[in-house]
Amino acid sequence: MTDTYHPARLDYGLTTFFGQISKTVDCEVALETVADDPYRFTLCVQAPVPEDLDQAKIVVVKVKGRTLQGAVRHFERREDDSLKMEVEPD
């Protein structure tokens, strides 16, 4: 994972018993492609990470003038309390 983090706005959707809930957080993120699937991308959110972000089903990230969105396929909590997410674009 790259150590180059950038300010970003992250919108994410949670599925609950009461339906879909959308949340927004301003955070620092790093982006890179997935080695064995260049169609997907990896999003690493630097700590502090919202408590429920690892339950997100969809994400929209606005970073460096770009907007990327997709379905979250895999999560990994890291030792430094950051969260690594593998996302499949829409």
Specify the residue for token string 């499949």.
88
Q: What b/e string do you get for 51-88 counting C-beta neighbours within 10 Å, with b at 16 or more?
A: eebeebebbbbbbeeeebebebeeeeeeeeebbbbbbe
Does residue 54 carry a pLDDT above 90? yes
pLDDT at position 3: 65
Task: Say which CATH number the domain at 10 has.
Answer: 2.30.110.10
pLDDT band at 7 (very low <50, low <70, confident <90, very high): very high
Higher pLDDT, 35 or 11: 11
Number of structural domains (the chain) is 1
pLDDT at position 38: 83
**Domain membership of residue 21 as a residue range:** 6-89
**71 part of a folded domain:** yes
**Whole-structure pTM value:** 0.89
**66 part of a folded domain:** yes
Contacts of 2 (CB under 8 A, 6+ apart): 30, 31, 32, 44
pLDDT at position 67: 97
